[in-house]
Amino acid sequence: MTVNNTSMNAGLNSSPSLRAINERVIIVEVLIAVFLYTDTLLIFTFFQKDYFRTNTRYIFFVHTLLCDWLFLFVTNILLLLSYFVLPMPAWICVIICVLMGVLTFATPLTLTAMCLERYVAICMPLRHADIYTIRRSFHCLLVVHSLSCIQSIVIISIFFASVSLSFYTQNKICQVEMLIVHKWQSLLRSVISQLYFLIMSCTILFTYVKIMAAAKEASSDKKSTSKGRKTVILHAAQLLLCLIQLWCPFIEGTVMDIDFRMFIDLRYFDYIVFILAPRCLCPLVYGLRDDKFYMALKYHALCGLNKKISPKFVDI
C-alpha cells in the first residue's frame, strides 16, 4: 500500500493539536537520549573486559546493543526530518530505508540465537563449549545478518524495477513506505514478516519448553536453571514486542485509509511500545540481571569513584 508523503505532511501541518505533537516529540527525544546513553555505557563496559569479549552470550548481547543503538539513532533522525518537513535526496533515503529494514530483523533474530544459546547451555552443558565457540558465534551473526537482508533485498529489487532513474535525483521526505510502490508489494512484505514471526516464535517456544523440562529434572544447580528460564521469558517478551512491530506497517496502512488522525496516534503508540520498549528490555536482561556485568557497569558508570567496588573485583 503506497503512502502519500505529501498528504502525511499536510496532515501533520494542519493538525489542530500542534502543542500535543510537540510534547510527544519531546517525550520521544528524552526516551531515546536515555536509551542511547545506556546502550553506549553497556557497549563501553563490554569492550573493557576480556571475559565479556570471549563469552558467546555477551557477544550476542553487544551485537543486539549495537543494532539497537544504530536503529534508534537513525529512526530518530528520520523522525525529526519528517516532523520538520525537511527533504533529502531520494537515493540517500533508499539507502537508509534498506538499512532500517535489515536492522528491524537483526534484533529479533539475534534474540532467537541467544535463546538457542541458553537452551544449549542448560540442556546440553557438556557440549556448550564445543558448539558455541567464539568463531562459531561470529558465523552465527553472519547468518543473522544474511537472514535479515532477505526482505530488504526482495523489496528493493521490486522498487528498482518500478521507478525511473529520475526518481533518485528528487528530494523527498524520507519514509520507509517510500519503497512500497505497489499494493501487492505491501502484501508480500507482510507475508515475509509473518513467516519470520512464525519461525522465531516456534523457536522461542521450543527453547522455553526444553528449559522448563530441564528445570524439573535438575537435581543440582537449580539456581542457574531458574535464572536461565527467566532469561528466556524476558527474551520471549522482548521478541514478542519486536515481532508485533512487523505487523505495524500493515495495520497502520489500513488505519490511515480510515482516519488520518487515528493513524498519527497509532504510529506514535507503536513507536513507543513496539520500537522503544523492546530496546529497553535488552539492557535489563543482561545489563542489570547479570551480576558480573552489573558490577562492571556500575564501576564504569561511576568512573571508579565508588570505593566500595574494587577494580580487582570487576577485573574479570
Encode the chain (316 residues) as per-residue pLDDT tens digits: 333 443 344 344 444 444 445 777 888 888 899 888 888 888 888 888 888 888 888 899 899 889 989 999 998 898 888 888 888 999 999 999 999 989 988 988 998 888 888 888 888 888 888 888 888 899 999 999 999 999 999 999 999 998 888 888 899 888 887 888 887 887 888 888 888 888 888 888 888 888 778 777 765 556 666 666 676 677 677 777 777 776 777 777 778 778 878 887 888 888 888 888 777 776 766 667 777 777 777 776 666 555 455 545 445 4
CA 24 to chain centre: 21
3-state secondary structure 153-185: HHHHHHHHHHCCHHHHHCEECCCHHHHCCCHHH
Number of Cβ within a 10 Å radius of residue 92: 13
User: What sections of 132-270 are H helices per DSSP?
Assistant: 134-162, 183-217, 222-258, 260-270
pLDDT number for residue 5: 41
Number of domains in the chain: 1
| Single pTM value for the model | 0.80
For position 107, which CATH number holds? 1.20.1070.10
**How many angstroms separate the CA atoms of 185 and 188, rounded?**
5
Domain extent at residue 111: 5-314
Rounded CA-CA distance 69/74 in Å is: 9
Reported as a single tens digit per residue, the pLDDT across 73-119 is 998 898 888 888 888 999 999 999 999 989 988 988 998 888 888 88
